Amino acid sequence: MYTNGAISGQIGGLALYGGDQVSDSFALSGPWTILSVTFGEWVAPGTTPETVDWEIGSSAFGSDLGSATGVSLTSSLFCTHTGCGDGTYDVYTSSFTLDLPLADGTYWLTLQNATTSAGLVFWDQNGGPSQVETTCCISGYLSNSFEVDGTVPEPGSVVLGGSGLLLLLAAGLRRAGKYSRGRLQLR
């Protein structure tokens, strides 16, 4: 649905702890229902990512379209600190699920308050095409690694659902008409 590029594990990371927020833009070319978000995290060796707070909004750091706190992450090791993460951090691929319908347009994914079993957490930078804003520092950082996945409503499902509703409405009106005629005949 949208990818801002693969996890790099080499460039750096932006803080997701201690009240710092990172917001990155993404664009949709049609209506979608977002079902999951996957992103790269830098954590201290021997620790594992646990939770994150997310927001999706129509502007940087916005939450007008959806948000959740303390969301459990599904994570797998991307590479250890001996192979990436600037020699100091392990890098993980982390994801969380959600169910958020959105129309076409540009939106902002904000992550914050990430937790691990111990230590600091950073969002992997990869220089992707989106815009990034952060509350920890000055603007102008490289973009972050993330993917937004979901489903697009199938036109056939919409037509079929609409047809079913019309049939139910017609049946209800027909019954209402018979009942009214029946009452009139009793008078």
Average pLDDT over residues 54-79: 97
Q: What is the pLDDT of residue 166?
A: 55
Task: Give the dihedral sign, CA 172/178/184/187.
Answer: negative
CATH number of the domain at 2-153, please? 2.60.120
Q: Given a cut of 70, is residue 58 above it in pLDDT?
A: yes
Q: What is the pLDDT of residue 140?
A: 72
pLDDT tens digits for 151-161?
987 765 445 55
Ramachandran angles phi, psi of 150, nearest 5°: 180, -160
Q: What is the pLDDT of residue 171?
A: 52
Q: What percent of the chain has pLDDT over 90?
A: 70
Confidence of residue 183 (pLDDT cuts 50, 70, 90): very low
Listed in sequence order, the residues at least 6 apart from 150 whose beta carbon sits closer than 8 Å to its beta carbon are: 1, 32, 33, 34, 35, 36
Task: Give the dihedral sign, CA 44/45/50/56.
Answer: positive
Ramachandran angles phi, psi of 108, nearest 5°: -125, 125
Confidence of residue 184 (pLDDT cuts 50, 70, 90): very low
Q: Greater confidence, 113 or 179?
A: 113
pLDDT tens digits for 69-84?
999 999 999 999 999 8
Give 23's strand partners: 110, 133
Q: What mean pLDDT is reported for the chain?
A: 86
Average pLDDT over residues 10-17: 93
Domain borders along the chain are 2-153, 156-187
pTM confidence score: 0.80
